[in-house]
Amino acid sequence: MSLYDESFELKELQRLEGHTDRVWGLSWNPTTGVDGVPAVLASCSGDKTVRIWQQSSPSGSFECKAVLEETHTRTVRSCAWSPSGKLLATASFDATTAIWEQIGNDFECVSTLEGHENEVKSVSWNASGSLLATCGRDKSVWIWEVLPGNEFECVSVLQGHTQDVKMVQWHPSMDVLVSCSYDNTIKVWAEDGDSDDWHCVQTLAESNNGHSSTVWAIFFNASGDKMITCSDDLTIKIWGTDIIRMQSGDGNATWKHLCTLSGYHDRTIFSVHWSREGVIASGAADDAIRLFVENKDGLVDGPMCKLLLKKDKAHDMDINSVQWSYSDNRMLASASDDGTVKIWELTSLP
């Protein structure tokens, strides 16, 4: 029996309260939730803080273990754990990105990255943890190299978007970076092997089956051969590439539009995330979560994806982020303008 054939429900396990303003972003620590290590989740908010939530046991409830505050002076828009799980990067409207390290039971800000002219909207680590990308309202994307001693050096400032850049996301296995923007486009960036310069290798726009309005978020599937995007145009789009050609460094391994999911949300779609099991989650300004699954049954004429379930009124207000756990394919976190984080479990109906 495949995911495509089962019936599911999204069961609310816990509502996490403590933020005093809208919650913008979420990030699961990728090294937790396995081998008896309790799962750890970070959330960031308009209240200028980041909260660290930890599960009391592998199947227990989540509790707030730390509040990272008095560093950012404005909204914290995005947070991301490094692949090692040792560092947490937080991007803020105060034009800085802070790097936090857990030392004992406390978190300390060990580095502050400055350079963006104004609001930093998103932060993302590459697969090895050697590079960090940030983007902002100043229309730029910055790539930082991680040096010993928690030092960070900007190695490239990428100019190409004509508007506010909403999100950056590294490919799960290669040093290829993707960004999306208020200018309705998605840009793919790669390093030139000869010059070590970063440049835009592809732009996905409305003219090549792209979005017709602001693109809010991007994510990849586990194997890295597909990418999902969501937009103010109320659609979700799936893109595919020849991963073998991409891995070989073939510059012709471009991303191609595979399908568009429309009619599932009736307000802006702010977040999409792909579980390792292959379930796509979306969260939107209509307070709803939708789950989709790829058709793996080889139906050539059938839809590429089907709606797995609809969760209306998942929150009281806009849903800004949905994030599947790295360790538990069926655990989902969501963050909302209502100031709460919710933990959900995808369960099969009998």
- Nearest CA to 282 among 219, 328, 339, 240? 219
The contacts of residue 237 (CB under 8 Å, 6+ apart) are 209, 210, 211, 228, 229, 230, 231, 257, 259, 260, 261
Say which CATH superfamily domain 8-348 falls into: YVTN repeat-like/Quinoprotein amine dehydrogenase (2.130.10.10)
HSE at residue 187, side-chain half, CA atoms within 13 A, is: 26
The contacts of residue 335 (CB under 8 Å, 6+ apart) are 23, 24, 25, 26, 43, 319, 320, 321, 341
Q: How many helices (H) and strands (E) does the chain have?
A: 1, 28
- pLDDT for res 13: 96
> How does pLDDT run along the chain (350 residues), one tens digit per residue?
367 667 889 999 999 999 999 999 999 999 998 888 899 999 999 999 999 999 998 778 999 999 999 999 999 999 999 999 999 999 999 999 999 999 988 999 999 999 999 999 999 999 999 999 999 999 999 999 999 999 999 999 999 999 999 999 999 999 999 999 999 999 999 998 767 799 999 999 999 999 999 999 999 999 999 999 999 999 999 999 988 888 777 666 799 999 999 999 999 999 999 999 999 999 999 999 999 998 776 555 556 899 999 999 999 999 999 999 988 879 999 999 999 999 999 998 87
- pLDDT for res 153: 96
